[in-house]
A and B are shown apart, each in its own frame.
Chain A
Amino acid sequence: MSQVFQNIVCKFCGCLCDDITIEVEDARIKKVKKACVSGRGYFLDYDPSDVKPMIDGQEVEWDEAIAAAVDILDRADSPLIYGLSSTSSEGQRKAAKLADRIGATIDSTSSVCHFPTSQAFQAVGEATCTLGEVKDRADLMVFWGCNPMIAHPRHFARYSANAKGMLTKNGRKDRTVVVVDVRPTKTSKLADHFLQIKPGTDYEVMTTLRALIHGKKIGKGVEGVDMQQVEQLADLMKSCRYGVTFFGMGLTMSPGRAYNIAELFTLVAELNKFTRFSAMPMRGHGNVAGADQVLAWLSGYPTAVSMACGVPKMGPGEFTSVDMLANKEADAALIIASNPAAHFPQAAVKHLKSIPSIHIAPAGECLPDIANVILPTACCGIDAPGTAYRMDNVPLRLQTVMPNIRPTDEEILSRIIKAVKQ
């Protein structure tokens, strides 16, 4: 007999769409309604079966696997805890506690997505808002260095360009959409205006916009950029009722990194002298925003935090995982709910493979080729409850649609915390 669950949160991306309908039959998800293609796959491919943990590729009992994980952490002088973006905030909290207990460095997947945004936020602040405000009020949306039609497929429909809100009852007709990018994308094809810029010129274009909104005259402008379009964008930004800039890894991964974001935040702050304007990063993995939140509550810093000296220290380029691994600073690793093998440069992956490591993740996502100890857990938002933060830092409760057979990340981390040497 099937059971139907409504208003379930999809944790695939930072949109955290909370209107999904799930039909469960014989302890498997059979139907998914309202989700995007990625969200449907996330639910339909999930296998909740009882899977045993492993040590060096051999199945073992849970007690033995946890003892092996504890042994790896006890022997390490410089352990790295990495990932966190697809676990619950309750699990993230336990990971931070473990880092504190053993003097580890803890770093989330933010370090290879929006850590430059956090650094910019620390430097110049951030004028931001919730997606509810965007839906109800925004009449100008600038998507800069991001492609939501691919990475966040329901963003337009639920929260931004096409959404119908309190002051935007006609949806798309009530909004002007601008895309700034280095190449045409599926998102730029839906925009009213597409400003195509040369790679690496984002900072210069933002500085030009800052000058223009303050009425200053520009000489030659930015090489390879249509200055008439830049002037038009400056006019749109000053004259809108409520503007918002969504930005992505086109800014955080390009030369300039945090400086690009700091310039964007400064532009947005200055626009508030003329109208209401906000900025919001397009966060990728389901609860990566939660990882920043939880680490910031507990340590004062969003990621790349070393607990080695007994007090938290943040170090971009030092305590960030790619640097910790490529510089051979980490001598053991605990990977939680993420896959650095697919997302890190080869030099970092090579060192990760050479040190003792533990992987805590839902069974199908475990990495037996990388980790010595595999601890296959339940998936929060499907068979484990928890909290996740949407890209606008609004926390949502994750419901379950079936009972968990495997333990949760939180339970496993609690057992490790109890057993490790302080």
Chain B
Amino acid sequence: MKNKYTLITGRTKKQTDGLHKGACSPDHVNATSFVEIGPDDMAQLEITEGQIIKLLSSAGIVELPVQAGDLPVGLLFMPMGPTANKLVGAETFGTGMPSFKGLQVEVEIV
């Protein structure tokens, strides 16, 4: 089953704290390798916290655990970092800025 969502990436406390240990350090990678989903979408997808799901974008695919987040229906959140960047395409639409926010993704239950 595939469902379409909008993904935004952003800072979290653990991601920020992990940065000074090195952006590719285990602390930073662990702090950036999950996806937050709102309660209504979790119920609709029939998934629980900690469950591994697959996110697919036009640029890539990642498998990662779910965390419950305070998010409206249709919106997913990931901490910015190497894992999220596997989903972010290099197209910048002439601006220099890739689509780190507002990225269209599909969720697949694995």
Contact = CB atoms under 8 A, between A and B. Distances in A.
Contacts of A316: 92, 94-96
B100 A112 contact: yes
A317 B93 contact: yes
A301 interface: no
Contacts of B95: 115-116, 119, 257-258, 316-317, 320
Interface of A: 12, 37-38, 41-42, 45, 107, 111-112, 115-116, 119, 147, 150-151, 182-184, 196, 198-200, 249-250, 252-255, 257-258, 304, 316-317, 320-323, 325-326, 339, 341-349, 364-365, 367, 369
Contacts of A252: 97
B57 to A, nearest CB: 10
A184 B93 contact: no
Contacts of A321: 96
B68 interface: no
Contact of A38 (B19, B71, B94): B19
Contacts of B22: 339, 364-365
Nearest to A304: B96
A112 B98 contact: yes
Given A342-B82, A343-B85, A346-B60, A249 B92 contact: no
Contacts of A365: 22-23
Contacts of B77: 183
Given A249-B101, A369-B24, A346 B96 contact: no
Contact of B101 (A250, A322, A344): A250
Given A12-B20, A341-B24, A347 B96 contact: no
A147 B16 CA distance: 12
A370 B51 CA distance: 33
Contacts of B8: 182-183, 199, 250, 254
Nearest to A325: B90
A344 B71 CA distance: 25
A151 B11 contact: yes
B66 interface: no
Given A182-B8, A342-B23, A253 B97 contact: yes
Contacts of B21: 41, 45
Given A183-B72, A343-B85, A345-B88, A253 B96 contact: no
Nearest to B9: A253
Contacts of A317: 92-96
Contacts, number: 142
Contact of A199 (B6, B9, B93, B97): B6
Nearest to A365: B22
B90 A326 contact: yes
A339 B24 contact: yes
A347 B28 CA distance: 21
Most buried by B among A112, A249, A253: A253
Contacts of B11: 147, 150-151
A150 B97 contact: no
B48 interface: no
Given A112-B96, A199-B101, A249-B10, A37 B17 contact: yes
Contacts of A147: 10-11
A246 B40 CA distance: 31
Most buried by A among B6, B20, B93, B96: B96
B59 interface: yes
A349 B88 CA distance: 12
B12 to A, nearest CB: 6
A326 B98 CA distance: 11
List 8 A-B pairs, minimum CB-CB distance, nearest first: A320-B96, A342-B23, A326-B90, A317-B94, A347-B90, A339-B23, A253-B101, A253-B100
A200 B89 contact: no
A322 B92 contact: yes
Given A111-B96, A183-B70, A345-B89, 15 more contacts: A41-B20, A116-B95, A147-B10, A182-B8, A250-B8, A254-B8, A255-B102, A257-B95, A323-B90, A341-B82, A345-B98, A346-B60, A346-B86, A364-B22, A365-B22
Contacts of B71: 183
Nearest to A189: B70
Nearest to A303: B96
6 contacts: A38-B20, A115-B95, A199-B101, A326-B90, A343-B23, A343-B80
Nearest to A323: B92
Interface in B28-61: 28, 59-60
A30 to B, nearest CB: 17
A254 B102 contact: yes
Contacts of B82: 341-342
Given A322-B98, A341-B24, A37 B13 contact: yes
A199 B90 contact: no
Given A115-B96, A199-B101, A254-B101, A344 B20 contact: no
